Amino acid sequence: MSFYKLADLPARTANLWPLEGGQILLESKGTSFTLVQNDRLSSMDELGEGLPPTSSDPEGTVRTILGRWPDAVWLVWRAVDRWSRPHDMYYDRVFRLRGDRWEQVDEAPHDEYINHVYQALWDQGRGCLVGLLADDQSAQNAWVAYQKVLDCKGQTAPHLSFKATVQKEYGVAAARGWPSGDVLVLEVHAAMKEGEPVPARLALSRPGSPNRAEVVLSLPPEIQRGKRRFELHYSHLLGNTPTDVYVIGNHILGEVPRYGPPPGDISWPPLLLHFDGTSVAEMPAPPVEVILDADRGEDGTLVILGKPRGESEAREVQEVWALPRGGAWVRIPMPVDAAVKAAYIPASIAARSLSDIWTVGFHGQHGKDLRVALFRSHRLAEAAPGANTTQR
């Protein structure tokens, strides 16, 4: 398999957001949108209406887009609040697509005392959005996490089954919920000390009582041997049901700054497990040093974007790898830019299946020579479609 270029993009940055049913929304800074349906690209720039203008909120960003096209699509805008406390803080505004315009349906609590952001959002069924919030100012925020109904106007309010831990040492590393009412949270002991590592755990809340079960995860050999303190970064919980979930992320060893990137000499042992609703099993180790992003196809294929092993921090190199259910890892190479004789660098991914993976790639520095393009995978035995198959 390899990627072929589908279209050059006029934007300087762009992200792919997979939706239910196989659709993908290509977004650039909340001002430009393209809908990917099957093989067709449909420009939908008018969808920027209703979102905060970038001129008034230049540091605001699209945090996530989720849902089902076209009747139940939501967007989370991560805004910057500079007026309520001495230090900048972030908060989330949630919008729902109404026709060709975004309408705000919720704003996370934020003032001089609290700063809550959405740890996870999901469609609870019938186009009803539910979320899990927690304090973003503290790494030990699992005990204050809570569930909230955001957008279920005109419907019977769903039963909220989430039960937070009573232990104040833990923080939320990732979360996911389902229409069944089940909520899964990846929790890490945020108060551990060097020499006293504490395993991370999965906490599954289910409708009924008792409604919270915990599964302790194993520690990587690097942590066990050196008794190293660690954190979890770039964590994901991917699965369409609570009995078939990939647990993905990176253990970061040593002291990590609260803000800003970790130092280059810190080790990043990957985290990759499968959860069947009761227990976890190890998956084949991904052939990367750091997992940066992940998605899952409808056929169960796991796709990750990562930094290759052995690459220096100064060199910007990223790769896309796919793991079919029951198979082995397969690298999907990016094409070489003939003008500069170097490969594009993948930066955002979306997976429909093993044979249908999408990525946004860039080439060059973030200056006048930057090129950004949309790519799609194909098998090497097949001829790549020509540019005339793409509509913009």
| Predicted confidence pLDDT, tens digits, the chain (392 residues) | 899 999 999 888 899 999 999 999 999 988 899 999 988 999 987 788 999 887 677 778 999 999 999 999 999 999 887 765 556 678 899 999 999 899 999 999 887 777 889 999 999 988 999 999 999 888 999 999 999 999 998 888 788 999 999 999 999 999 999 999 999 999 999 999 999 999 999 999 999 877 999 999 999 988 999 898 999 999 999 999 999 999 999 999 866 555 555 555 567 889 999 999 999 999 999 999 999 999 999 999 999 999 998 765 545 789 999 999 999 999 999 998 887 788 999 999 999 999 999 999 998 765 567 889 999 998 643 444 443 333 33
Separation between Cα atoms, residue 14 and residue 372, nearest integer Å: 8
Hey, what are 38's tokens?
């099957």
> Domain range holding 334?
1-28+290-392
- Is residue 2 in some structural domain? yes
3-state secondary structure of 45: helix
In a domain, 136, yes or no: no
In this prediction, residue 384 carries a pLDDT of 44
24-28/342-343 β-pairing: unpaired
d(CA 93, CA 364): 33
Q: Which two tokens stand for residue 32?
A: 């430009």
Task: Determine, yes or no, domain membership for 131.
Answer: no
Q: What is the pLDDT of residue 12?
A: 85
> In the numeric block, which tokens belong to residue 112?
């001089």
CA angle 270, 275, 280 (to 5 degrees): 75
The answer to whether residue 318 sits within a structural domain is yes
184 assigned to some structural domain: no
Q: Which of 119, 159, 160 is CA-nearest to residue 138?
A: 119
Tell me which DSSP letter residue 179 carries: T
Amino acid 85 reads R
Q: What is the rounded distance in angstroms from the CA atom of residue 27 to the CA atom of residue 332?
A: 23
pTM, two decimals, is 0.91
Distance CA 165, CA 344 (A): 44
Query: In this structure, is residue 95 part of a structural domain?
Result: no
Total tally of structural domains belonging to the chain: 1
Annotate 75-95 with DSSP letters as a single string: EEEEEEE-SSSSS-EEEEEEE
Q: What phi and psi, each to the nearest 5 degrees, are found at residue 217?
A: -90, 150
Give domain status of residue 281, yes or no: no
- Of 112, 111, 128, 130, nearest in space to 120 by CA: 130
Q: Which three-class secondary structure state does DSSP give residue 357?
A: strand
List the one residue out of 161, 81, 72, 153 whose CA is nearest residue 117.
81
Query: Which tokens hold the place of 109?
Result: 């609590």
Residue 366 is predicted with a pLDDT of 54
Handedness of CA 140, 142, 146, 152 (dihedral sign): positive
Residue 292 CB partners (closer than 8 Å, separation 6+):
234, 304, 305, 306, 307, 318
197 lies in some domain: no
